[in-house]
A and B are shown apart, each in its own frame.
Chain A
């Protein structure tokens, strides 16, 4: 028989001001199965908790109902108290008399009656509670970091410095990402590579980090603490262990006219190449799509000149499977190319550049060694126009969001230009200047006041070429919407930042959700910004939404912190409020008929197939099984199961129906 104790809390006057707590306790004493019922001013206080503990011991309670505040507030407190008195903590339930009753109703009989109903519901529920035990899941203390840009690098270093192993996967031949392409960084104008490359080297040398460059994540199975990742290491055609990185091969390769990705097409590279001099690892790879040998079967010059004999034309792609406990996605972003804009010449004009191309021109390691010169004729531009919001904040083009970083880098670009070309004239066409950030507004002001950058508030409708000049037709909305025409030598478009191609497929591989623009979705926009909805998978950097470097680094450290918290114990403990598929006596074994329609309904991929076998190993029946590591207890499968074979522990069909009937049958 059930022996239930009811403990009604006044919560100071929070509850007792409108609910007659003594009457609630008296009424509860009369409920079938209730053997102890009292009210007290502060149940959560030490004496209050003692009352619960003593009642459990003295009256041998089999269940406890605390009628007080929201379980969000004090469920852990009261469950702990029960546990200390030897009662399974999941035999303790709370009736929310504060948020659900006293705070929302006037004082009166009906309010007290509602409070009594709420208690009755929980009494009926707790009678049907079963003792539950926390789920323990082992943790593999290795993290997988996907993407080796600044976010991935920061996350990897923080996790590794926390004493845990890291596997970093980077798609390109070198880590570094977009930050390695930048010239200077706002708002301090310190050299991007100078602050980045030491970190890249640290990643390569860190004893806790395994680096796979020129590699892709092709599969991820498992669940928090216990993922299995499948990585495809693309063949570099170079034996990394032997290669000394002397780069002699790259000087002799006959294919010299391949547009360099690192230089955004403004420079050329060879087919066997190191993307940039500071690359990590600083060893070449052969680009099979452009290599003469792979295309025609003849050449092998690199093999002949290699002093270490490290070239391996027959090297196959390698599939590596690794066990990891957590994943940090840091795959970054890309930008629209100039070809996206019909009004700005569809990419036909060589002197209309993207912001990233301008970075390469301004960079000391770039194709012009930092001199700003026109790609068309190599002349130094006398007049330069920067256009912000190229594609961003433009629902007509399908990108309604603000790309966030452009206002700042445009100010930086204009500044860098003025610093390098003292007599030059620079114009910035803008919609608004969004410079929210530490020292950001000051930075933009500096560009306007100290460096004489002309900011024109208005849009540019058209760019066309005339006599070697780019004619920029726009409007100045602060000068009475006056038409403006500028003869420019160079135009830089702050093109919209967009999700990487392949982001959608990656999200599907990792089973994380993503938004309409294919940026990965965080679990909560404010309170869980680095987690995804899939436990154990975290986000860092611009793959979640466009971010500048400081924000990316901050989020990466946040993600790393989350990973290190996860890895701080060898076992994960989770609340057992998860779905379970029932079991029954043979010959049925379970009422589950194994239709597996619940499988696609589960947002967490928690439903597996389980074969029930006889002693000889013959499969008698295949039923669904909920993986306790993956299940988040959302209950979608429960609603979907026709035969009602799945229940959420702690919220079973029986318990919930008992609660409902407790209200209905008393009206």
Chain B
């Protein structure tokens, strides 16, 4: 067994953790999330570049919350999600053990949020070059071109809400899209309604998105709506020096610092 498998097995056999969440081999050479409670199952754990689904999404589920202490195999985006969720009071420290695997492959076990917070704070969210180029391209378009670009992309959406289901930050018990008194977002998947849904989703992730790409990976149509959240991350970097999920810092959009730039008021 390798290092993270050994740790996972140890946590279960000692009774420190009641359940481990990680990835295992699925069908067609794909990985799938796995939830197990017996130490001998630890050997089925895998972790490689295919593990792009953000499994932090499960931590806020009612079924998981009642399971006792959970150990989770966490890539950097998953660790960021855990800190962001903790800063939003959605996770409690006593119930989570993080078996972190850093981008360089190092396995780090975090028993408390403080250590995890310190590690996450030492990293920065960087937008990959290929996305930056695409965003620059879109930003250079005229308003009509941009409208047509997004109309073309978003008209395909049939509102399966897989993007929402995949996102660890979408944990509201009643999503705005499901409100009907009043009905904010039209239910049918016509182009305008699709615009409203994706703009709203992006805005709700402003200052919270950890850039894990789980939403875009989950989209059955490959709509590049993650350009919206990525563009916001770049914008925050420009305007407020960027952000990183943190237990100590304040949410970038709901807090004010005297040296914040106010160049949007002109």
> Chain B interface: which of A105-113, A159-167, A371-379, A591-599?
A591-599
Contacts of B174 in A (CB 8 A): 588, 591, 643
Residues of A within 8 A of B250 (CB): 600
Interface 1/0 per residue, A71-104 and B, CB below 8 Å: 0000000000000000000000000000000000
A8 to B181, CA, bound (A): 30
A640 at the interface (CB under 8 A from B): yes
Inter-chain CA distance A594–B179, complex, in Å, is: 18
Contact B173 A643 (CB under 8 A): yes
Is residue B90 contacting chain A, with contact meaning CB distance below 8 A? Answer: yes
Q: Quick check: A601 and B254 within 8 Å, CB to CB? A: yes
| Bound CA span A643–B90, Å | 15
Q: Looking across the interface, which residue of chain A has its beta carbon closest to that of B207? A: A597
Which of A516, A591, A596, A658 contacts B88, CB < 8 Å?
A596
The verdict on A304 contacting chain B, using a C-beta distance below 8 Å, is no
Are B251 and A644 in contact, with the CB atoms below 8 A? no
Q: A211 vs B39: C-alpha distance in the bound complex, in angstroms?
A: 68
Contact residues on B (Cβ < 8 Å of other chain), bracket: 20 to 34
Task: A642 to B175: give the CA distance in the assembly, Å.
Answer: 8
- Contact call B254/A643, Cβ cutoff below 8 A: no
Contact bitstring B60-102, A, C-beta under 8 A = 1, else 0: 0000000000000000000000000000111000000000000
What A residues does B89 contact at CB under 8 A? 594-596, 622
Q: Are A600 and B255 in contact (CB under 8 A)?
A: yes
Chain B residues, Cβ within 8 Å of A597: 88, 251, 254
Evaluate contact between A642 and B172: CB separation under 8 angstroms.
yes
CA distance A599 to B250 in the complex (A): 10
Judge whether B204 and A642 touch: CB under 8 Å: yes
Q: What is the chain A residue whose CB lies nearest that of B170?
A: A642
Q: Tell me the nearest residue of chain A to B200, going by C-beta.
A: A642
Chain A residue with the shortest CB-CB distance to B201: A642
- In the complex, per-residue mask of A621-651: 1 if CB is within 8 Å of any chain B CB, else 0: 0100000000000000000101110000000
Check: B182 CB closer than 8 A to any chain A CB: yes
Q: Does A657 contact B (CB under 8 A)?
A: yes
B56 to chain A, nearest CB (A): 15
Q: Which residues of B contact A622 (CB under 8 A)?
A: 89
What 0/1 readout, one digit per residue, does chain A (210-224) give for beta carbons within 8 Å of chain B?
A: 000000000000000
Q: What 1/0 flags go to A608-630 for Cβ under 8 Å of B? A: 00000000000000100000000
Q: Is B184 an interface residue (CB 8 A)?
A: yes
Q: Is the CB of B254 within 8 A of A600?
A: yes
Are A643 and B182 within 8 A (Cβ)? no
Q: A593-B90, A596-B89, A622-B89 are in contact. Are A644 and B179 (CB under 8 A)?
A: yes
B-contact bits for A646-666, CB 8 A (1 contact / 0 none): 000000011001100000000
Partner of A598, one of B179, B204, B254: B254
> Which residues of chain A have C-beta atoms less than 8 A from B172's C-beta?
591, 593, 642-643
Interface string of B229-266 (1 = CB under 8 A from A): 00000000000000000000011011100100000000
Give the chain B neighbours of A593 by CB distance below 8 A.
Answer: 90, 171-173
A595 CB contact (under 8 Å) in B90, B184, B253, B258: B90
B81 to chain A, nearest CB (A): 14
Q: Is the CB of A640 within 8 A of B254?
A: yes
Is B176 among interface residues, defined by CB-CB distance under 8 A? yes
Collect the chain A residues with CB atoms within 8 Å of residue B182's CB: 653-654, 657-658
| Chain B hits for A516, CB < 8 A | 258
**Could you tell me the distance in whole angstroms from the C-beta of A519 to the nearest C-beta in chain B?**
14
**Which residue in chain B gives the minimum CB-CB distance to A589?**
B173
Q: Once the chains bind, are B255 and A601 in contact (CB under 8 Å)?
A: yes
Query: How far, in angstroms, from A284 to B251 measured CA to CA in the complex?
Result: 49
Closest partner residue, chain B, to A661 (CB atom):
B182
Shortest CB-to-CB span from A627 to chain B, Å, is 18
B251 and A600 contacting across the interface, CB-CB below 8 Å: yes
Interface 0/1 of A362-392, CB less than 8 Å to B: 0000000000000000000000000000000
Of chain B, the residue at the smallest CB distance from A595 is B88
Query: Once the chains are docked, how many angstroms separate the CA of A595 from the CA of B174?
Result: 14
- Give complex CA distance A640, B250 in Å: 14
A644 and B184 contact, CB distance less than 8 A: yes
Q: Shortest distance in angstroms between A174's beta carbon and chain B's nearest beta carbon? A: 34
Interface residues of B in 193-229 (CB under 8 A from A): 204
Residues from chain A with Cβ under 8 Å of B90 in the complex = 593-595
Closest A residue to B62 using CB positions:
A587
Q: A593-B90, A601-B254, A640-B254 are in contact. Are A654 and B181 (CB under 8 A)?
A: yes
- Looking at B172, B176, B181, B250, the one whose CB has the most chain A CB atoms below 10 A away is B172
Min CB gap B53→A, angstroms: 22
Knowing that A516-B258, A594-B89, A601-B254 are A-B contacts, what are 11 other residue pairs whose CB atoms are under 8 Å apart, sorted by A's residue number?
A591-B172, A593-B90, A595-B88, A595-B89, A599-B254, A600-B251, A622-B89, A640-B253, A643-B175, A654-B181, A657-B182
Q: Can you identify 6 A-B contacts, CB atoms within 8 angstroms?
A: A591-B174, A593-B172, A600-B250, A600-B254, A600-B255, A642-B176
Give 3 nearest A-B pairs by CB, closest first: A601-B254, A595-B88, A643-B172
